[in-house]
Amino acid sequence: MATSSSTPAPTAHPLPSYLQAEHLGPWGIFLQQVDRVEPYLGNLARWVETLKRPKRILVVDVPIHLDDGRIAHFEGYRVQHNTSRGPGKGGVRFHQDVTLSEVMALSAWMSIKNAAVNVPYGGAKGGIRVDPKTLSRGELERMTRRYTSEIGIIIGPTKDIPAPDVNTNEQIMAWMMDTYSMNQGSTATGVVTGKPVDLGGSLGRREATGRGVFTVGAEAAKRIGLDVAKAAVAVQGFGNVGGIAGKLFAEAGARVVAVQDHGGAIYREAGLDVPSLLKHVAEKGTVAGFEHAEAMEADKFWDVPCDIMIPAALEQQITKANAHRIQARMVIEGANGPTTPEADDILHERNVLVLPDVIANAGGVTVSYFEWVQDFSSFFWDEDEINKRLVRVMQQAFAGVWQVAEQHKVSLRTATFIVACERILHTRELRGLYP
C-alpha cells in the first residue's frame, strides 16, 4: 500500500547495543573508521549500514576432555562480517584475551583488506578464548577439532575459509581441514588456507604477510624520498610477520636497530644480526636474552630513533599516550589494528606516514587466495611464481590507494577504506536485497 506524504519515512533500526561504538573496544574503532569514510562514498553511502552490522555472528561452547580426566569449556567465535564479494575469509586466533568485539572488528578489517587488494572474498574471523600454552598437544588438538565441528555449519570452501592467526599455525589448519573433511565425508583441502604444503598448502604462504609489509613499505619509501638501503627500522613483534619483514628490510640494506616482543626489547644502533636473531627467537620464543644487543625497557621501544617502525604484534599498541614519542618517518602496520584513531590523528599531524594494516599486511590473504585457487584446480605454482604474483598485486593495490589519497587529500587509511568500501557497497547494490 502506498504511504501518504504525511506519514514519516521509515528509518534504519538503531544498532543493537552490542554493535554500538562507545563501549566496544576494537569494534568501536572500526565504526569510527567507517564514519570517517562515509562522506566520500557518494550515492553508495545509502548502503553504509551494511558495514556496521556483521552478517553473521556465531558464539560456540567448546568442551574437551583434559589429560587429567576433567572436562574444560572454552568460548569460541566465528564472525562473518560481509560476504557480498565472495566467501568469508579470515584467520582463527587462540588467545586468552580474545573477545567478541575483537573478532567482530578483525572480521570487518578482513572485509576491507580483501576488497582493497581486490581478491574475491568477504571478511570473516574466528577465535577461542584460551591460552594455548597451558594445553598439551593432545588437548590442543581436541579443542581445535571440537571448535571446527561447532563452526562447521557456517564454514566451507565456498562459504567461509579460515586461516592461521595469533597462536595458530599449519598444524592447527591441518586438524581443522581433517575434521571438516571427516564430517563432510570427503577431503576438502580448500576449507582452510595456511595448511602444510603436503596437504594442499601454498609455497610462500608463511612468509607472505611479512613480504607484503616490505613490498608496500618499499613502494611508499620511493614516494617520500626515503632510501630503504640507508633506513633504520624498529619492529614490534618478531614472528612470521615482523621477523620476515625485518629480514627483507635487512636484505635490502636497512639496519634493524630495535625489536620488542612479549618477552622484552633489544637495541643495537649499528643494526641487529637479523638471521641470528631469528634463530634465537625460534629457539627461545622471544628476543629477550639475545647476546648481540643491549636490553632495554619495553616501553622505551617507542622512543627509538628510526626511519621506519613496524608494529607487528597485537591491536591498540600505538595510542594517544605514546604516538607523540614515535620518531619514525613511516609506520607500517604489520599487525591488525595496532593504531587507535586518536593516535592516527597525532601521527598525521606530525607528518608521520602511516601505511594501514588493511593494505600493508594484506600479503597473507593474497597468497591464501592463491592457495585456494590452487586447491580448486589441483595445479600448484612454484614459490618464485607466487612471490612475483604477490608483489604485483601489492604494488598495484598500493598505487591505487596512493592515487585516491592524493585525489581526496586524505590519509592512506581513509583512502584504503574509500577504495574498499566502494567495492563492497557497489557489489551490495548490484546484488540488491533478497527477498
Give the count of beta carbons closer than 10 Å to the beta carbon of residue 254: 26
β-partners of residue 74 are: 62
Give alpha helix (H) positions in 270-362: 274-284, 341-349, 357-360
Location of C-alpha cell 506519514: 7
Regions in the chain scoring below 70 on pLDDT: 1-13, 15-24
Catalytic residue among 55, 89, 113, 125: 125
Count each helix (H run) and each strand (E run) in the chain, helices first: 12, 12
For 30, the grid coordinates are 572500526
Alpha-carbon distance values, 254 to 242, 297, 387 (Å): 14, 23, 21
Q: Are 331 and 213 in contact (CB under 8 A)?
A: no
Q: What are residue 416's phi and psi, to 5 degrees?
A: -65, -40
Give the pLDDT of residue 206. Answer: 86
- The one-letter amino acid code at 311 reads P
Give the pLDDT of residue 158. Answer: 97
Task: Give the global pTM.
Answer: 0.91
At residue 294, the 3 state secondary structure works out as strand
Q: Which residues of 19-45 are buried (b: 16+ CB within 10 A; e: fewer)?
A: bebeebbbbbbbbebbebbeebbeebe
The C-alpha atoms of residue 282 and residue 287 are separated, in whole angstroms, by 9
Give the pLDDT of residue 336. Answer: 85
pLDDT, tens only, 316-346: 889 999 999 999 999 999 998 899 889 999 9
Give the pLDDT of residue 240. Answer: 86
Q: Is 113 a catalytic residue?
A: no
Task: Say which residues have a Cβ less than 8 Å from residue 153's Cβ, sequence separation at least 6.
Answer: 58
For 205, the grid coordinates are 604462504
- CATH code for the domain defined by 54-185: 3.40.50.10860
Task: Say which residues have a Cβ less than 8 Å from residue 36's Cβ, sequence separation at least 6.
Answer: 341, 414, 417
To which CATH superfamily is domain 206-360 assigned? NAD(P)-binding Rossmann-like Domain (3.40.50.720)
Over the chain, what is the mean pLDDT?
93
Alpha-carbon distance values, 378 to 188, 370, 372, 373, 374 (Å): 12, 12, 10, 8, 6
The alpha carbon dihedral of 142, 144, 148, 151 has a sign of positive
Domain boundaries for CATH 3.40.50.10860 within the chain: 54-185
72's torsion region: left (phi>0), alpha (psi -120 to 50) or beta?
beta
- For strands 123-129 and 71-82, give the pairing: antiparallel
Give the pLDDT of residue 3. Answer: 47
> Secondary structure of 107-176 in the HEC alphabet?
HHHHHHHHHHCCCCCCEEEEEEECCHHHCCHHHHHHHHHHHHHHHCCCCECCCEEEEECCCCCHHHHHHH
- For strands 294-296 and 255-261, give the pairing: unpaired
For 43, the grid coordinates are 550515492
